Amino acid sequence: MKHLTLSVALSLMTGSALAEDLRPAPDYYVDTLFALTMAEALATSCSTMGMDLLAAGAATNELQEKLESDGFDRDQPFAQMIDPAPALRTLQETFLEKHPNLASPDEAQVCAVALAELEEGSLVGRYLNAGVE
């Protein structure tokens, strides 16, 4: 089973630039980045869950369009942003408070959380598919 940790994924998707040229990361960027990354982490850690690639692709396209319309570079928007890692950590902490059994999860716990998010229709759940094997 392939494991993707949230912190590794988040570090790959954030960057740094000169402080004087940086703008705060928009909330929609942080929320979407977290949701896609968490959904991927859950899907790769649960053999019966997968990513909804159509939903993830649509979200990515929509995100790029919003960023571009807000004046960010479409290909590397994070290069123009203040590091969103603190906001992402806050979202991660909130997610772990909601799902405390993820502190030291086994696959069954991860699958239960993924299914709960999917059934709830949360932002994370929107990018998941159940019944994948």
Q: Where are the beta strands (DSSP E) in the chain?
A: 49-51, 128-130
Look at residue 131 in the predicted model and tell me its pLDDT: 78
In a domain, 4, yes or no: no
Q: State both tokens at 71.
A: 């004046």
67 and 101 in a single domain? The answer is no
Residue 123: give the domain boundaries: 84-133
Mean pLDDT, contiguous 10-residue spans, the chain (133 residues): 45 48 93 96 95 95 94 87 95 95 88 96 96 68
User: What CA–CA distance (Å, rounded) separates 59 from 54?
Assistant: 9
Tally of CA atoms within 13 A in the half-sphere of 58 that contains its CB: 7
98 and 117 in a single domain? The answer is yes
User: What CA–CA distance (Å, rounded) separates 119 from 131?
Assistant: 13
Look at residue 69 in the predicted model and tell me its pLDDT: 96
In a domain, 10, yes or no: no
72 and 102 in a single domain? The answer is no
**Model pTM?**
0.80
